[in-house]
């Protein structure tokens, strides 16, 4: 066990050091850009059409206010957040011994670092800190006779999680149910225990959505979520789990091994002082699976909560057999299998991490962002607006670097190319073209590759856009994977 832990620690140290130069890339610049817009006076959902919850924006806003939008600040934030999760995992698993607790923390750190630069600071990764705080609070309360303060802390943490990803409400309810069930078994007030978790869980959402309502954004938020996100976006790009696992590097190997580790953790006995923590970790595994399945997009970072709680089960899987137990030989075999599975996971994650350190597509995207910003600046002086037709290929990141706003509230263009017969999507299309005609941005940047529609010719599907481009714009730059249309001097 010590040898595997030493190998895990060495890999974590190596990958963390080699990742020090990872750039701000992919999804994170979009959240940074929204945070910058908010700092400039924009109102989420009214001025920015996006599917995320306001807690995400506020976290990025806080980071921008403290560290700015540079690569180093983002890297330090990510490593600091990872260290905080690791510390909580150690505390959560400590009743099973320091070695097991350190193993859980190291395994999650290795899982995160093996993902590469694009998974840095992903929302589901940020969520893990609050989920673990919630589980730890409930566990400590139950271990101390239903102490109220840890239950309240758990509720606050899980409420904060729900301002990042609404699916975390499933774990909030589950944690409240565990607290109530344990209280009932010990002749304490089950409603009181559940009420403490559920009531405290309303605190952060009340503050966040209260801020949004005070700013006037609650109505636009409700309109986007009820008129677009739930009926339309939730069905876009759904894939089967089998297909999704085939996308990931070593996906099948890794998740079969993780699943085996989880099963072995259930089969063994746990010290009485740690049983409640195993139950909560198992609840977390069930939630993590639902978290991934419910979102349905198959994106690898949606697996973070599942990975978190499987890592929390590692010490249970590799725990030593109780001395003198008649089933000792069986449990010893189980432990040997768990150690082998753990070692295999470390090897797979190590290989995945080394491969992801210098992924060519990350470097290509970073170069594209720099090129777009360089080519766009002459056509869009400070104060000018620029419309980007993109998702994550670098156009929005270039606007963040240049500090240029868009004339419409649309950050992405994938909204316009699904459910095209639906009147709600047709209304979004009309709003975009009308906004461009009225706002006349200094430039329109079109990225060739988009999430759900490839090629520049997709613009021809938007009624009224091609005539506007022909009449008022000229193709000024033909870059590698992008075009810049500049406004004519005399449209």
Question: Whole-angstrom Cα distance, residue 188 to residue 146?
Answer: 8
Question: Whole-angstrom Cα distance, residue 422 to residue 308?
Answer: 39
pLDDT digits (tens, 9 = 90+) for 333-360: 888 999 999 999 999 999 999 999 989 9
* Tokens 């003198």 -> residue: 324
**pLDDT above 90 for 320:** no
pLDDT of residue 450: 83
Question: Whole-angstrom Cα distance, residue 205 to residue 227?
Answer: 21
pLDDT of residue 210: 97
**pLDDT above 60 for 328:** no
Residue 248's Cβ-count burial label (10 Å; 0-12, 13-18, 19+) is middle
pLDDT digits (tens, 9 = 90+) for 374-399: 999 999 999 999 999 999 999 999 99
**pLDDT above 90 for 221:** yes
pLDDT digits (tens, 9 = 90+) for 179-200: 999 999 999 999 999 999 999 9
User: What are the boundaries of each domain within the chain?
Assistant: 2-357, 361-487
pLDDT of residue 53: 97
Question: Whole-angstrom Cα distance, residue 335 to residue 403?
Answer: 55
Kindly indicate the confidence band of residue 322, based on its pLDDT and cuts at 50, 70 and 90.
low
pLDDT digits (tens, 9 = 90+) for 8-38: 999 999 999 999 999 999 999 999 999 999 9
Average pLDDT score, the chain:
95
Mean pLDDT of 122-137: 98
Question: Whole-angstrom Cα distance, residue 233 to residue 221?
Answer: 14
**pLDDT above 90 for 463:** yes
pLDDT of residue 324: 47
**pLDDT above 70 for 323:** no
**pLDDT above 60 for 491:** no
pLDDT of residue 326: 44
Kindly indicate the confidence band of residue 332, based on its pLDDT and cuts at 50, 70 and 90.
confident
Question: Whole-angstrom Cα distance, residue 321 to residue 329?
Answer: 8
pLDDT of residue 262: 96
Residue 202's Cβ-count burial label (10 Å; 0-12, 13-18, 19+) is middle
- Residue 175 structure tokens: 């944690």
pLDDT digits (tens, 9 = 90+) for 224-271: 999 999 999 999 999 999 999 999 999 999 999 999 999 999 987 778
Question: Whole-angstrom Cα distance, residue 224 to residue 219?
Answer: 9
Percent of residues, the chain, with pLDDT higher than 70: 97
pLDDT of residue 268: 75
**pLDDT above 90 for 490:** no
**pLDDT above 80 for 327:** no
**pLDDT above 70 for 439:** yes
């Amino acid at each position: 066990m010590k040898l595997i832990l030493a190998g895990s620690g060495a890999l974590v140290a190596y990958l963390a050091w080699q990742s020090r130069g990872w750039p701000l890339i992919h999804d994170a610049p979009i959240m940074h850009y929204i945070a910058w817009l908010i700092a400039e006076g924009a109102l989420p959902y009214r001025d920015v059409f996006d599917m995320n919850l306001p807690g995400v924006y506020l976290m990025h806003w806080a980071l921008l206010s403290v560290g700015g939008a540079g690569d180093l600040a983002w890297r330090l934030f990510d490593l600091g957040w990872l260290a905080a999760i690791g510390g909580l995992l150690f505390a959560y698993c400590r009743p099973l011994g320091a070695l097991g607790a350190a193993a859980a923390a190291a395994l999650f750190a290795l899982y995160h670092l093996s993902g590469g630069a694009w998974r840095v600071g992903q929302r589901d990764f940020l969520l893990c800190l609050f989920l673990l705080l919630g589980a730890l609070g409930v566990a400590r309360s139950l271990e101390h006779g239903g102490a109220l303060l840890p239950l309240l802390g758990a509720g606050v943490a899980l409420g904060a999680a729900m301002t990042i990803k609404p699916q975390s409400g499933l774990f909030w309810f589950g944690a409240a149910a565990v607290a109530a069930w344990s209280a009932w078994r010990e002749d304490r007030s089950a409603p009181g225990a559940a009420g403490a978790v559920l009531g405290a869980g309303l605190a952060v959402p009340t503050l966040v959505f209260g801020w949004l309502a005070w700013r006037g954004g609650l109505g636009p938020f409700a309109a986007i979520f009820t008129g677009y996100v739930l009926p339309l976006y939730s069905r876009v790009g759904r894939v089967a789990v089998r297909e999704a696992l085939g996308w990931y590097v070593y996906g099948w190997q890794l998740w079969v091994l993780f699943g085996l580790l989880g099963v072995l953790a259930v089969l063994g006995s746990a010290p009485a002082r740690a049983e409640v923590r195993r139950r909560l970790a198992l609840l977390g595994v069930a939630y993590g699976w639902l978290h991934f399945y419910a979102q349905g997009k198959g994106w690898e970072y949606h697996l973070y909560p599942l990975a978190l709680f499987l890592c929390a089960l590692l010490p249970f899987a590799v725990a030593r057999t109780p001395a003198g137990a008649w089933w000792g030989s069986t449990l010893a075999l189980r432990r040997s299998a768990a150690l082998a599975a753990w070692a295999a996971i470390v090897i797979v994650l190590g290989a995945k991490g080394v491969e992801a350190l210098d992924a060519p597509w990350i470097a290509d995207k970073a170069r594209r962002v720099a090129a777009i910003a360089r080519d766009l600046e002459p056509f869009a002086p400070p104060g000018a607006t620029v419309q980007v037709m993109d998702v994550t290929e670098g156009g929005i990141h270039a606007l963040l670097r240049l500090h240029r706003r868009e004339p419409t509230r649309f950050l992405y263009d994938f909204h316009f190319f699904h459910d095209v017969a639906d009147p709600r999507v047709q209304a979004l299309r009309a709003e975009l073209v009308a906004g461009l005609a009225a706002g006349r941005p200094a430039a329109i940047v079109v990225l060739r590759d988009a999430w759900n529609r490839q090629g520049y010719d997709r613009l021809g599907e938007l009624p009224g856009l091609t005539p506007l481009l022909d009449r008022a714009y000229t193709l000024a730059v033909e870059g590698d994977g992008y075009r810049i249309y500049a406004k004519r001097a005399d449209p």
